Amino acid sequence: MKFFVDTADVDEIREINETGLLDGVTTNPSLILKSGRDITEVTKEICGIVDGPVSAEVTATDFDGMMREAKVLAKIADNICIKLPLTMDGLKACKKLTSEGHQTNVTLCFSANQALLAAKAGATYISPFIGRIDDAGADGMELIEEIRSIYDNYDFETQILAASIRTVMHVKEAALIGADVATVPPGVIKALVKHPLTDKGLDAFLADWAKTGQKIG
């Protein structure tokens, strides 16, 4: 499973990218607001840090507006992935942009039917929002399972990008189901490596090593 980090904080992106585990970045208007920076400036900097796709979202709600903004965003860097809302105009823009060779990420997906339409529109990625579905009292992982089954039934090339991830369990469950990508907040990515038995074992090894009085090198 690919790992994208869900943030517009360049320091966090740079830190995680240095691990060699990062495959891409997703941003949205809320994350741009949180960064406090100009969207073009910060997106360009992010694109220079990572080699993989960087999702930059349009804010227009009509087809013509989306296409106009998409062309501006696409000029920022070669690894820009245009993020579009899951509406009829968004799907129309997705179809057009895909036909022109752009990567697309259709976002705010909350049903399998929506995901089916996004795949037919040629979306590179579909972003089902796991956490928000859980918040509404349903099971976000059931949606991932449904999309996986539908895409496998018809050999759709659209990649399932599990989004709105809140916990390390979300990551594990999405991987078990077969999501192609998980876009994860920096804190959750860092939490994936943590386990109390790892810490306990390392402490024991270091204590025993100190007793040998040896050094390596």
- Radius of gyration for the chain, computed over Cα atoms and rounded to the nearest angstrom: 20
Q: Which of 2, 71, 75, 83 is catalytic?
A: 83
- 10 Å CB burial of residue 125 (0-12, 13-18, 19+) is buried
Q: Helix (H, G, I), strand (E, B), or coil: what is residue 54?
A: strand
Q: Tell me, yes or no, if 83 is annotated catalytic.
A: yes
- Report CA torsion sign: 106, 112, 118, 119: positive
**What CA–CA distances, in Å, run from 179 to 104, 105, 160, 182?**
17, 15, 5, 7
Active site residues: 83
